[in-house]
Amino acid sequence: MDASMPHDPAPSRRADAERNRDRILAAARAAFAAGDGDVSMAQIARRAGVGQATLYRNFAGRRELLEALYMSEIEAVCAAAAEMSHGEGAGAALEAWLRRFYSYFTDKLPIATELLANSDADDPMFSSGYAQVVAAGRPLLAAALESGDVRSDLTLEQILDMVVAVAKIPGTPDYRAPILQTTLRALLRSTDS
């Protein structure tokens, strides 16, 4: 009970619960991005500043937490596609979104690896996540094709696979950056120099 909330405490409690959930997800995301994958539930609770009881009330276990993280990343990439489409040009919008997808993939790699260790590669969650990303990117590619900013010899699936392949190259982000640049340049006519 919170005495400072005079009317209807329920929405505020829901807001609190949502804040906790978001805080846990943010902490877990940061822990996995920084760490070597070997992140414990206790560490995540500490990082989020919540008790373990709160952590487990939100996520029954490590796997549930990883799944929620994965889904939230997918949603963020899809949301980015919708925002990009109001950009400065269809080719630039596609490129910006592919870079967003690339960094999502780079950040997500430890999460997906962990998740794969805890579930099945054939889990429909993965194919459904991928299908959502493809559906979100489709209008961006269509617009870039229509404006002539982009070459038509690759499908969106091939483009995404190409970006993922670069993201998986071992080495530092600085080592990979010019490889991504080269790859995207080939795709987009407008950035040819």
- By beta-carbon proximity to its own copies, the closer residue of 132 and 183 is 183
Q: Of 24, 43, 46, nearest to 35 (Cα)?
A: 43
DSSP-derived 3-state class of residue 150: strand
Residues 24 and 65 sit within 8 Å (Cβ to Cβ): yes
- By beta-carbon proximity to its own copies, the closer residue of 50 and 166 is 166
- By beta-carbon proximity to its own copies, the closer residue of 138 and 151 is 151
Distance CA 48, CA 53 (A): 13
Distance CA 10, CA 86 (A): 37
- By beta-carbon proximity to its own copies, the closer residue of 4 and 193 is 193
- By beta-carbon proximity to its own copies, the closer residue of 68 and 186 is 186
Shortest Å, Cβ 160 to its own copies:
10
By CB under 8 A, residue 183 contacts its own copies: yes
Burial 127-153 (b: 16+ CB within 10 A, else e): eebeebbeebbebbbebbeeeebbeee
Residues 160 and 133 sit within 8 Å (Cβ to Cβ): yes
Figure out which of the listed residues 2, 8, 122, 192 binds its own copies, where binding follows CB under 8 A: 192
Side-chain-side CA neighbours of 172 within 13 Å: the count stands at 2
Shortest Å, Cβ 112 to its own copies:
15
Shortest Å, Cβ 162 to its own copies:
5
Shortest Å, Cβ 184 to its own copies:
8
DSSP 38: -
> What's the first-to-final CA gap in the chain, in angstroms?
64
Figure out which of the listed residues 85, 154, 156, 190 binds its own copies, where binding follows CB under 8 A: 154
Shortest Å, Cβ 12 to its own copies:
48
Query: What token pair was written down for 171?
Result: 């080495």
Q: Site residues for its own copies, window 158-177 (CB under 8 A)?
A: 158, 161-162, 164-166, 168-171, 175
By CB under 8 A, residue 185 contacts its own copies: yes
Q: Which residues of this protein are in contact with its own copies, per CB under 8 A?
A: 151, 153-154, 158, 161-162, 164-166, 168-171, 175, 178-179, 181-183, 185-187, 192
